[in-house]
Amino acid sequence: MTVNNDIYIKKDKLDIEKTALSGQVFRYFKNDGGGYTLLSKGYAADCRFCTAADGADKGDFVKLSTNNSEYFINYFDLAENYDIIESKYSDNAVISAAAAYAKGMRMLRQDPFETLISFIISANNNIPRIRMIIERLCSAAGRDIDGKNYKAFPSASDMKDLGEDFFEKIGAGYRAAYLRSTIGAVNDGFDLSKPFRLDTPSAREYLLGLKGVGPKVADCILLFAYGKRDVFPVDTWIKKSVKEFFGIDCPDAKKISRSLVALFGDDSGIIQQYIYYYARGKTLS
């Protein structure tokens, strides 16, 4: 339900905290109302539980106050009914437990350029540091978001004159050279709309042509920006999890990924997110 630029979603269909902390996205901030503000490109969505002030009929809803409702309906993948996917695995104890634990988490459909740059920064990095580097980048090169105290994620054009030394100063480390090269490639015509038109193997190969994009980063971009769910990004958490849950003990991340895509097909991406969130939550709790 959309009223003006406010979007109302049933609470059981969107858990904003689980979504923000799921590892898909790095630009989120806890707000005073107990909800979260998520930023993407030059847009912001303030997310909170509805109160009496929103009307008696909205007690079971989450309210997203945005400056672009159409963008965030797509961003939060609100047209997708995840119950249908989850029901396919009701006889699988591991997937059922992971899906129940992650209930309400949405698969985000993010801007390809922002996702590309963010996941290059994420390589061999931890979430607090990733978020810090990205915020330094946005503060230095991003434009104002109307009515907000946040900066937009800078475009490739906004960053065209930033040298490798700039990225080193904001904490990117060895990734500074990759960022400079990839931003240059996009400004020189590397087409980030092309993967939408390619099958997943071809789209992956295309993205691997960019500096700083390895197989895991490519699969994250394919999943979180292009909505290609026949991928299974593998990191340390996933390696440990699939060994425990599926008995797959293999040092080769690409082989693990292929095995799980063969098992889960077009549901691989959402199953990966459920397992990642479940395993990480169990370990950190």
CB neighbourhood size of 124 (10 A) = 8
Helix pair 200-207, 215-224: axis angle to 10 deg:
120
Task: Write 120-126 long-range contacts (CB < 8 A, 24+).
Answer: 120/175, 120/178, 120/179, 120/182, 120/212, 120/213, 120/217, 121/172, 121/175, 121/179, 122/26, 122/217, 122/220, 123/175, 123/212, 123/214, 123/216, 123/217
Q: Calculate mean pLDDT across residues 212-226.
A: 97
**Buried/exposed 185-202: b ≥16 CB within 10 Å, e otherwise:** ebeeebebeebeebebee
- Asked if pLDDT for residue 165 goes beyond 90, the answer is yes
| Residues assigned a catalytic role | 216
- Asked if pLDDT for residue 147 goes beyond 90, the answer is no
Grade residue 34 by pLDDT with cuts at 50, 70 and 90: confident
H-helix or E-strand spanning residue 84: helix 82-87
Nearest to 247 by CA among 263, 233, 231: 263
User: How far is residue 228 from each of residues 8, 231, 269, measured CA to CA in Å?
Assistant: 26, 7, 8
Residues of the chain with CATH 1.10.340.30: 112-224
Question: What does CATH list as the number for 2-79?
Answer: 3.30.310
- Asked if pLDDT for residue 242 goes beyond 90, the answer is no
Cβ(207)–Cβ(215) below 8 Å? no
- What is the rounded distance in angstroms from the CA atom of residue 254 to the CA atom of residue 271? 17
Q: Calculate mean pLDDT across residues 61-65.
A: 90
Read off the pLDDT of residues 253-266 as tens digits, 9 standing for 90 and up. Answer: 999 999 999 999 99
What pLDDT is attached to residue 283? 63
Residues of the chain with CATH 3.30.310: 2-79
* Residue indicated by tokens 């396919």: 88
Identify the residue with better confidence: 58 or 219.
Answer: 219
CB neighbourhood size of 284 (10 A) = 6
Sheet holding 6-10, edge to edge: 2-3, 6-10, 61-66, 43-49, 36-40, 28-30
Domain spanning 112-224, CATH class: mainly alpha
- Asked if pLDDT for residue 196 goes beyond 90, the answer is yes
Grade residue 209 by pLDDT with cuts at 50, 70 and 90: very high
